[in-house]
Amino acid sequence: MADEITTTVCTSIEEKLQALSSTFSEHTIFRVPRLLYEVNEKAYEPEIISIGPYYRGKNHLKMMEVHKVRFLGMLLGRTNGHTAEVFVAALRGMVEKARNCYSESSSISTKDFLEMLVLDGCFIVELIHQLFLDRNMDEYVFRVESTLCRILLDLILFENQLPFFVLWELFGIIRENQRNIFVNCFLRLFGDAMPGLRVDVVYDYNSIKSVKHLLDLVRGNWLPSRVVEDHSRAPKDGKWSLIRSATELKEAGIRFKKGEGNTLFDIMFRNGVLEIPMITISDSTESLYRNVIVCEQFEKEDPKYLTEFTTFMDCLINSGKDVELLCHCGIIENWLGNDEAVATMFNRITDNVGVSIKFYAQICNDVNEHYNALWNKRIASLRHNYFNTPWAFISFLAAAFLLLLTLLQTTFTIFPRH
């Protein structure tokens, strides 16, 4: 009996090992880790449209299913008399490969999975066409401007993805040998929300293989400029420490200035001035940042630029006062209208994410060296303890003036004029 149980368990384990080894390395579309998901669930969930299997069939997303079919019909109108068969046939051989891209298995049948690839993929292709190539937007779907903004955000949520090779194939059907037009147009959709996003990249058959999905496409092209890459070299000894809040640094004489860098990540510290490019904080910023950050966590390469940038900003911002200071300096453009809300966003956005700031390590060391200089430290202490309000400074001047008068009176009393 014991031998039979042993054999059964061994067989079961062997089957699981074989299944794991054959597909695990192919996974490119994962679920958000629970520790990150629980911090802000809504930041990772689509509100209008499902793409891929993870949110397929959710009640609040069903309304868009009919519009996926409508968009497919519009796309077919651009293909010189083709029927849906041209898309179905092109993706039929990709079903197994595409299914293996998802880390969480689903019970969707092969037929339904293939239909999902066609409808979801063609919706994205037609959306790009409407926004850029013929500029004739569907009035029914986009009659409310905010709907488009939310759909675009849904398209780059970490769990709401199609394998990129599926889209690449569809791009080729619509515009053979002009696939990069779709890539460039899609990247342009996020240029305002992601300052410095490189939108004119060119991919070929080999380089496109490294792109996992649309969010990965965006992440991989949101990079710092070369100048900052050189400036932000890691310290030779590898040591670094976090910096103090913006108000504390200001008390030490460090000034803040809106940077003129080309990308969000172009932070510089020169001659006691910390330069940071302008950051626009809107209702969608937290969701956008969180999904890029979780995408970075699944990448082996360092640095993870947005993770480290938000960690740097988390150091600078401890309260609404720090946000107010950075807004006054033109560094933060607060569309939320609440400084405390912005502070909370930055303080929570890297919760349960490994703290790393290697890319800005040298800048942190330079800032700390300036702050810890003896004279600057004394000024900071004096400002913090005695001159933290305008009235405190006025009181100090009044007291100093009275002391001066007292000294003069005493002097004239001891040494009267003859």
Q: Is the pLDDT assigned to residue 380 strictly greater than 80? A: no
The rounded percent of the chain whose pLDDT value lies above 90 is 65
Dihedral sign of CA atoms 218, 339, 335, 273 in order: negative
Which range has the worst mean pLDDT, 18-32, 303-317, 376-390? Answer: 376-390
3 part of a folded domain:
no
pLDDT band, residue 139 (cuts 50/70/90): confident
Among residues 214, 194, 82, the alpha carbon closest in space to that of 154 is found at: 214
Residues 281 and 248 in one domain: yes
Residues 106 and 207 in one domain: yes
Residue in the structure block whose two tokens are 């800005």: 360
What is residue 23's predicted lDDT score, i.e. its pLDDT? 65
CA–CA distance, 82 with 84 (Å, rounded to integer): 7
Give the domain-ending residue among 179, 197, 220: 220
260 part of a folded domain:
yes
Q: Which two tokens stand for residue 251?
A: 């008390």
pLDDT band, residue 26 (cuts 50/70/90): confident
Give the domain-ending residue among 220, 250, 265: 220
CA trace torsion 324, 329, 332, 334 (10° rounding): 50
What is residue 18's predicted lDDT score, i.e. its pLDDT? 78
Residues 54 and 173 in one domain: yes
CA trace torsion 207, 212, 214, 217 (10° rounding): -40
Residues 65 and 131 in one domain: yes
What is residue 234's predicted lDDT score, i.e. its pLDDT? 63
299 part of a folded domain:
yes
More confident residue, 23 or 40: 40
Domain count of the fold of the chain: 3
7 part of a folded domain:
no
The pTM score is: 0.86
- b (16+ CB within 10 A) / e for 265-294: bbbbbeeeebbbbbbebeebbbbbbbbbbb
Among residues 256, 285, 282, 251, the alpha carbon closest in space to that of 270 is found at: 256
6 part of a folded domain:
no
pLDDT band, residue 381 (cuts 50/70/90): confident
Cα 69 to the center of its chain, rounded Å: 31
Q: Average model confidence (pLDDT) for the chain? A: 89
What is residue 412's predicted lDDT score, i.e. its pLDDT? 63
Residues 124 and 252 in one domain: no
2 part of a folded domain:
no
What is residue 341's predicted lDDT score, i.e. its pLDDT? 98
Mean pLDDT within 55-59: 96
Alpha helices in 24-62 (DSSP H): 34-37
Residues 284 and 332 in one domain: yes
Pairing mode, if any, of strands 279-281 and 332-334? parallel
- pLDDT tens for residues 258-274? 998 889 999 999 999 99
- pLDDT tens for residues 281-330? 999 999 999 999 999 999 987 789 999 999 999 999 999 999 999 999 99
229 part of a folded domain:
no
Residues 93 and 198 in one domain: yes
Among residues 246, 268, 244, 257, the alpha carbon closest in space to that of 369 is found at: 244
Residues 413 and 363 in one domain: no
Q: Is the pLDDT assigned to residue 379 strictly greater than 80? A: no
Residues 148 and 295 in one domain: no
Residues 78 and 186 in one domain: yes
Write out the residue range of the structural domain in which residue 398 sits: 389-418
What is residue 235's predicted lDDT score, i.e. its pLDDT? 66
331 part of a folded domain:
yes
Q: Is the pLDDT assigned to residue 374 strictly greater than 60? A: no
Residues 263 and 342 in one domain: yes
Name, in order, each residue with C-beta under 8 angstroms of 149's C-beta and a sequence gap of 6 or more. Answer: 284
Residues 106 and 165 in one domain: yes
